[in-house]
Amino acid sequence: MSFLHGIRVTETSAIGNAISIVATACIGLVVTAPAASADVFPLNTPVLIGAPSSAMTIANAIAAAGATGTLKGALQAIADQVRTPVVIVRVAPGADSAATDIAVIGSDVAGVKTGMQALLAAEAQVKYRPRIIGAPGLDTKNVATALAVVAKRLRGMAYAAANGVDRAAVILYRGNFTQRELMLIYPDFTAPLGADGADVPSFAVARALGLRARIDQTQGFHKTLSNVPVAGVDGLTKDVQFDLQDEDADANVLNAAGITTIVRINGELRFWGNRTCAAPDSDFTFESATRTAQVLADSIVGGMLWAIDKPLLPSLARDIEEQINEAFRKLTRGGFILGAEAAFDPAKNPAEQLKAGKLTISYRYTPVPPLECLGLEQQITDEYLADFNQLVATA
């Protein structure tokens, strides 16, 4: 360096660490497809379609799915709603329903994951983590229970059918579940996908997966599945009576039991219901509350990698606190949360803990609840008759 008796300024460009919100619109799909090519859809292996980095589009996958099993119908239902990355795990159907359940649920033996457990390996295998998962047409009670466990580990949501022959049966079935990561849906749609456009049943769960991804893309994780038109459908497999003002309407009774149903409003079929399978007094009864908790946790954890193994100085604690709060401010301005704050609490950071290289930053937040019930007060009055004579004279 040349000699200088003075001050030399060297200009550099530095971009501070920032917390990015995790992607939420990736679907995880467990299916059967006996006629599909094993080269395209190998059994028990995560296969990525519909992503920018994927060679296969959803249309390509539908063409390669074969006519049997659940894969083709599920992909058609998703494709009607959205274009988004989908991780597919194909399983072989068993000799009976119990054997099929075992195949769908899968296992982890000698480091090899099968069935829905393979979704846990998707991020390592195909670089995408599915956060909207389901097994349309295969979601028995055992499968739904296992889906909720996998969804919790992925910090995502599982959607499954509320099984039963009628409303009373599905409400009884709902009592089997308490997981906040699970939403139950009743009944199925009909869609003109049969020969010559004939109506055939279409998995409501598959369309919920696609619509959930579309809502994430267009509105955000804080908007629930409810009251958004569903594309590509024209009817229901079961009757669901609906009236916005009737507490005894089928749709309201199902919603009160924690089951999302389907209604027709202004000619359009829509999912109707905001609630997960969490207990009624839980902080996570709303789908949006569960997903907000998941998104915040993963986003903050992902944004803190830079701080791990740095010297534990007071300045590091302040930087971490401020970075989290900046992310909270952005989310609040965007309407994704009502508010949040991170802070260093001395009581939670005693000297012996700090000496051991352990730092705790506490934060609290308030998710955005859906407007589930709007109260309107209607009152009859004669006050507008007071000026009747004058109004007649000037009419």
Same domain membership, residue 325 and residue 271:
no
Q: In the predicted model, is pLDDT for residue 14 greater than 50?
A: no
Q: Are 60 and 71 in contact (CB under 8 A)?
A: no
Percent of the chain residues topping a pLDDT of 90:
88
Q: In the predicted model, is pLDDT for residue 213 greater than 80?
A: yes
Same domain membership, residue 332 and residue 186:
no
Domain ranges, residue 219? 27-288
Question: What value does the mean pLDDT take over residues 320-349?
Answer: 97
Question: What value does the mean pLDDT take over residues 353-368?
Answer: 96
User: What pLDDT shows up at residue 122?
Assistant: 97
Q: In the predicted model, is pLDDT for residue 105 greater than 50?
A: yes
Q: With respect to residue 40, please indicate whether it lies within any of the assigned structural domains.
A: yes
User: What pLDDT shows up at residue 184?
Assistant: 98
Same domain membership, residue 262 and residue 186:
yes
Q: With respect to residue 14, please indicate whether it lies within any of the assigned structural domains.
A: no
Same domain membership, residue 219 and residue 186:
yes
Q: With respect to residue 13, please indicate whether it lies within any of the assigned structural domains.
A: no
Same domain membership, residue 325 and residue 250:
no
CA distances from 46 to 93, 156, 178, 249 (A): 17, 17, 28, 42
Q: Which has more confidence, 8 or 69?
A: 69
Same domain membership, residue 45 and residue 90:
yes
* Mean pLDDT for the chain overall: 94
Q: Which residue is it, tokens 């006050």?
A: 383
User: What pLDDT shows up at residue 332?
Assistant: 97
Question: What value does the mean pLDDT take over residues 137-158?
Answer: 98
Q: With respect to residue 163, please indicate whether it lies within any of the assigned structural domains.
A: yes
Same domain membership, residue 251 and residue 194:
yes
Cis (ω within 30 of 0) for the bond into 130? no
Same domain membership, residue 233 and residue 135:
yes
Q: With respect to residue 303, please indicate whether it lies within any of the assigned structural domains.
A: no
Q: How confident is the model at residue 177 (pLDDT cuts 50, 70, 90)?
A: very high
Question: What value does the mean pLDDT take over residues 250-271?
Answer: 97
Residue 180 is encoded by which pair of tokens?
């906040």
Same domain membership, residue 62 and residue 109:
yes
Same domain membership, residue 323 and residue 238:
no
Q: How confident is the model at residue 168 (pLDDT cuts 50, 70, 90)?
A: very high
Write down which residue in 273, 288, 303 finishes a domain: 288
Write down which residue in 247, 273, 288 finishes a domain: 288
Q: In the predicted model, is pLDDT for residue 316 greater than 90?
A: yes
Q: With respect to residue 293, please indicate whether it lies within any of the assigned structural domains.
A: no
- Please tell me the total count of domains within the chain: 2
Same domain membership, residue 247 and residue 315:
no
**Integer Rg of the chain from CA:** 26
Q: Are 86 and 25 in contact (CB under 8 A)?
A: no
Write down which residue in 231, 257, 288 finishes a domain: 288
Q: With respect to residue 2, please indicate whether it lies within any of the assigned structural domains.
A: no
Q: With respect to residue 304, please indicate whether it lies within any of the assigned structural domains.
A: no
CA distances from 252 to 41, 238, 249, 287, 328 (A): 41, 15, 5, 17, 35
Question: What value does the mean pLDDT take over residues 163-189?
Answer: 97
User: What pLDDT shows up at residue 45?
Assistant: 97
Global pTM reads: 0.92
Same domain membership, residue 381 and residue 333:
yes
CATH code of the domain in which 247 resides: 3.40.50
Task: List, in order, residues 6 or more apart from 29 with CB less than 8 Å away.
Answer: 71, 74, 75, 78, 86, 87, 88, 89, 130, 133, 134, 135, 136, 206, 209
Q: In the predicted model, is pLDDT for residue 3 greater than 90?
A: no
pLDDT tens-digit map of 272-297: 999 999 999 999 999 999 999 999 99
Q: How confident is the model at residue 19 (pLDDT cuts 50, 70, 90)?
A: confident
User: What pLDDT shows up at residue 133?
Assistant: 98
Residue 229, φ and ψ in degrees, nearest 5: -60, 140
Q: Are 216 and 326 in contact (CB under 8 A)?
A: no
